[in-house]
Amino acid sequence: MSEIFSPPAAQLPTDKELVLKVIPMPADTNGNGDIFGGWVMAQVDLAGSVLPARYMQGRMATVAVNEFIFKQPVRVGDILSFFSSVTRVGRTSITVQVEVYAERFADQGRYVKVTEARLTYVAIDSEGRPRPVPPMPKAGG
């Protein structure tokens, strides 16, 4: 009898912010019955944009998926939690690290790291050209 491989439980990151939670549905599957990688990439792109949006205060675009690792398959009904942190603020761009953890459908409260990625977003003006990232307002000011 075949059993589904179950990696050790992961600790959730304490240095990253929870930016998205989502549950994949049967329409998001690939030919194996797991979740299609392109669907996961789209969610990571959305999740990754959350922290840069705070800085950019306007239009922005994804310029690069610098790294993307599918560590474990994602399955229908998993609760996915997306954690993100800013790793670089450049002149016109911001780079983030995103980690995705799954709580399996029938194993809630236990987290499996399924994906990690590094993406870069660029602030753009109304013509679609890069513009400087505005300075972050000081806390409390």
Ligand X SMILES: CC(C)(COP(=O)(O)OP(=O)(O)OC[C@H]1O[C@@H](n2cnc3c(N)ncnc32)[C@H](O)[C@@H]1OP(=O)(O)O)[C@@H](O)C(=O)NCCC(=O)NCCS
Q: Which residues bind ligand X (CB under 6 A)?
A: 61-64, 66, 90-93, 120, 122, 124, 128, 130
- Indicate the residue among 25 and 64 with the shorter CB distance to ligand X: 64
- Indicate the residue among 12 and 64 with the shorter CB distance to ligand X: 64
Work out the burial of residue 128: count CB atoms within 10 Å of its CB; fewer than 13 is exposed, 13-18 middle, 19 or more buried: exposed
Query: Which residue's beta carbon is nearest to the bound ligand X?
Result: 90
Neighbours of 117 (CB within 10 A): 23
Nearest approach, Cβ of residue 49 and ligand X (Å): 8
Nearest approach, Cβ of residue 50 and ligand X (Å): 14
- Indicate the residue among 109 and 128 with the shorter CB distance to ligand X: 128
- Indicate the residue among 93 and 115 with the shorter CB distance to ligand X: 93
Scan for tokens 């513009």, then name that residue.
Answer: 131
User: How far is the C-alpha of 84 from the C-alpha of 50, rounded, in Å?
Assistant: 8
Reported in sequence order, the residue ranges of 54-135 that DSSP labels E, i.e. its strands, are: 60-70, 79-89, 93-103, 111-123
